[in-house]
Amino acid sequence: MTKKKEVRIGLIGCGFMGRTHSNGYNRIKNFFPDLEHLPVLKVACSRNEEKAKAFSEQWGYESYETDWKAVIARDDIDAIDICTPNDMHAEISIAAAKAGKMIFCEKPLARTLEESEEMVNAVAESGVKNMVWYNYRRLPAVTLAKHIIESGKLGRIFHYRANFLQDWTINANVKQGGSDWRMDAEVAGSGVTGDLLAHCIDTAMWLNGSIGDVSAVTETFIKERVHQVTGKMEPVGIDDACIFHCHFDNGSLGLFESTRYARGHKAFYTFEINGEKASIRWDLEDLNRLEFFDHSDSSEVRGWRSIHVTDGDQPYMDKWWVPGLSIGYEQSFIHQAADFLESLASGQDFSPNFKDAFDTQKVCEAVLESAASKSWKTTGL
Ligand code: SOE
């Protein structure tokens, strides 16, 4: 067997995202054995030593650190994986870029456009490879949607509609700050716009091209929550819900909705695209399925087809079990990491990278500005 080239990972942040990425790295050797590069789990880092130690043992890291700067300073690390809350993405990325490390950053790229721009400039200056974990692109059904659109089967596209609905913050006892950092505008930057709509926007621009302008409305339903760190009741600065409509550069109209107040929905991410000749729709709760309506079908059989995307010749599925057997959320991360490693071997650009995520951030910023000013905003794309 030819010896693999190692990509030695230093992972910073041992929470939920740290687990999804670590699981992805661990499974690559089994399911993508032909890759030239293999991730090597070198070090996991958390400020909390007990957590860093337990996490590194559980996921198979060779060592642990409690200071992220120490991870960047190590010369046995090739790539920094940033799984921290959003307020640390910029500082860590810029330091990693200066140290010449590859960077894998959790989404959204940063809290603000300014931070994102500094990050894009830092990787451009140093020339380090980079990617952002907009993982949903890499689910087989979503990738198949991309192939179908590119094949021209939809014809001219008129409408793009997406939702990302959750219900976990309806409870007024959910706090802000600390481990509930997604509820804290200082740390997260925004609420559902950066956390959930950013996913929808990334997928939308990948499938349907750039968004030119937006008109948005946001709402914060619960205006004050206890802050985990201060222990005091404090104003809530994030958007609990956001709805926007927009123009895509290809002339189609977009409609996006996200909320954490849709009782009954935990992670209901959906999109539907309507073209002149055909439509497609997808839903994260049934993620192996892509629905397709083709107007050119004969009228006896015309209707929505339900494609169970599990066949060996459908995207990524040759890597898994046998046709008909489903895969899940975790595979989106495994596929993204594998595709990135593949891009190292082929020399091709990887997407989504910092520049792509900066574009998504531009749309998010325009959405928040539009809601604040109650006016249409251009995205600058
Ligand atoms: C929030 O609940 C969250 O975990 C996001 O932060 C993720 O990006 C999304 O994929 C699922 O929901």
Instruction: Annotate 347-368 with DSSP letters as a single string.
Output: -PPPSS-HHHHHHHHHHHHHHH
- The segments of the chain whose pLDDT lies below 70 read 1
ipTM above 0.95, yes or no: yes
What backbone phi and psi angles, to 5 degrees, belong to 255? Answer: -135, 120
Q: Which CATH architecture has domain 138-378?
A: 2-Layer Sandwich (3.30)
- Choose one of 184, 195, 239 to mutate for the ligand 1 pocket test, by most ligand atoms within 8 angstroms of C-beta: 195
What tokens appear for 68 in the block?
A: 């992220």
Position 2 scores a pLDDT of: 75
Please state, in angstroms and as integers, the Cα–Cα distance from residue 229 to each residue in 33, 225, 365, following that order: 45, 12, 27
Angle at 12 between CA 131 and CA 26, to 5 degrees: 70
Distance CA 97, CA 340 (A): 17
- Report which of 160, 166, 164 is spatially closest to residue 183, judged by C-alpha positions: 166
Contacts of residue 171, defined as CB under 8 A and 6 or more positions apart, other chains included, come to none
The domain segmentation of the chain, as residue ranges, is: 5-135, 138-378
Instruction: Name the superfamily (CATH) of residues 5-135.
Output: NAD(P)-binding Rossmann-like Domain (3.40.50.720)
Interval 291-345: pLDDT, tens? 999 999 999 999 999 999 999 999 999 999 999 999 999 999 999 999 999 999 9
**What letter would DSSP give residue 176?**
B
Position 277 scores a pLDDT of: 98
pTM score > 0.90 for this model? yes
Half-sphere exposure of 34 (CA within 13 A, CB side): 4
Whether the CB of 78 sits within 6 Å of ligand 1:
no
Domain 138-378 in the same topology as domain 5-135: no
- Written as one letter, the residue type at 320 is W
Position 1 scores a pLDDT of: 63
Distance CA 71, CA 64 (A): 9
Residue nearest to ligand 1 atom 5, measured at CA: 195
